[in-house]
Amino acid sequence: MSGTRVDLLIHGGDVLTVDDKGTVVPGGSVAVRDGEIVAVGRDLEVTAAEEIDARGCLVAPGLVNTHTHLAMTLLRGLADDVDLQEFLARVIPAEAALLNPRNVAAGVRVAMAESIRAGVTSALDMYWFHAAAEEAAREAGWRLHGGPTFMDVPDPADTIVYGDRLAWAREHLTARTPAPGTRPVVFAHSAYTLTPAQLTGIGALAREFGALLHIHASENAAEVETVLQRHGKRPVELLESLGLLGPDTLLAHAVDLTGAEIAAIARTGTSVAHCPVSNLKLGCGIAPVPALLRAGVTVGLGTDGAVSSNTLDMIGAIRQAALVHKAGGDPTAVGAEQAVRMATIEGARALGLGGLLGSVEAGKRADLIVLDLGGPHLTPRHDPWSMLAYAAQASDVRDTVVDGRVLMRDRVLLTLDEASALRELERTE
């Protein structure tokens, strides 16, 4: 690449590529052109329009949040220390009263500020008024995976009656202009807010557009019992019977599973978004992630919304995922490297975007983070996987890059007015 001109060169830091071999490039460089990584290595002979000096830092893939509700920043602290059912009883009426496109955009801007500061470069966002969220993300240059949400409840926040939702969603999906590193997404809330016939229709819509189908499933025992009483099958059993499991389906939570359901998830190539912080806080239990991994299931990592987890800190979620499964007595149940992979390449694969996101490799989109390793809690540095999983903090993220564009440099947000976003959120009513 001698003499090649690139848009951005990040150089001098240890590069944790998260490729299949787990390659680490000490004192390495990452060259970016047109939003794509074009080279990773040492002593790259290129000229760059913009450079980031990463000496004393760790360069890693941006973190992929595989399940969240970004604009729930509007409701943070509203439903703490309650179970899932009481949580829903408080949140759903509050959403109906509060949500509109302006407020959702305000909530998303604050969520993006928090996420960018925590090294999150990409998020799968299930929520009302998805168009407002997507526009806010476009303005900030942040990678948001959004789309129409289906939830058959009285007084939906967007006032679109269920009978009109399929046509509304089809119109959105038809008009959608795909961006590099994204795909269409259709969100079905759950088997307890949608009937089997509705789920079947939503699944058909997703297949029509080659979309990812994302749905809450088996978040706790009470949800499982509700679905069993209504439909005669547990949530995952119901989805399988409807033909809705498969490589284009991503289940959120998957806490209360039987061995047969784990086998069905694995057999069909269905993926899971693991949300350990939210699951613990709501008393839902601990998802059987080690069993899912042994079965060959792709497991990504998510924060859930800021009203159920109170934070969008994916580094904290990595630590929780690496720790909570050791409670059964096996310290190897989910190791540091596995937890980091769940937040990066496995999350990208869960979205069906593993060829474009989730690792620092030539040909992938340039979603990158630089962590400052100068803090005492990161010294000495024996193993980058362990350091990131067990010692790093969101505040260690110094620079965040999405699609080759620097969104945060030296901890200063460049594409988002954080103070204005916070003021706007405070004015929502």
Instruction: Name the percent of the chain lying above pLDDT 70.
Output: 99
| Tens-digit pLDDT profile for residues 382-417 | 999 999 999 999 999 999 999 999 999 999 999 999
Domain boundary among 325, 350, 375: 350
32 plus 84 within the same structural domain: no
320 plus 368 within the same structural domain: no
pLDDT in the model for residue 2: 58
- Under 8 Å between Cβ of 184 and 209: yes
91 plus 160 within the same structural domain: yes
Residue 314 covered by a domain? yes
Residue 162 covered by a domain? yes
250 plus 320 within the same structural domain: yes
Average per-residue pLDDT for the chain: 96
115 plus 157 within the same structural domain: yes
The CATH number of residue 244's host domain is 3.20.20.140
Encoding tokens for residue 184?
A: 């269409």
57 plus 73 within the same structural domain: no
- Under 8 Å between Cβ of 185 and 250: no
What is the number of domains present in the chain? Answer: 2
231 plus 368 within the same structural domain: no
8 plus 115 within the same structural domain: no
Residue 429 has pLDDT above 70, yes or no: no
Domain boundary among 350, 384, 400: 350
- Measure the CA–CA gap between 101 and 161, rounded to whole angstroms: 17
| Tens-digit pLDDT profile for residues 43-77 | 899 999 999 999 999 999 999 999 999 999 999 98
The DSSP element (H or E) to which 172 belongs, if any, is: helix 162-175
Average pLDDT over residues 177-194: 94
29 plus 124 within the same structural domain: no
- Measure the CA–CA gap between 46 and 152, rounded to whole angstroms: 55
Residue 422 covered by a domain? no
Average pLDDT over residues 199-213: 98
87 plus 155 within the same structural domain: yes
Encoding tokens for residue 72?
A: 């729930």
Tell me if the bond preceding 380 is cis, omega within 30° of 0: yes
Domain range for 17 is 4-61+359-413
Domain boundary among 328, 350, 372: 350
- Under 8 Å between Cβ of 142 and 367: no
346 plus 399 within the same structural domain: no
Q: Any idea what the Cα angle at residue 338 is, between residues 335 and 339, rounded to 5°?
A: 85
Residue 420 covered by a domain? no
84 plus 145 within the same structural domain: yes
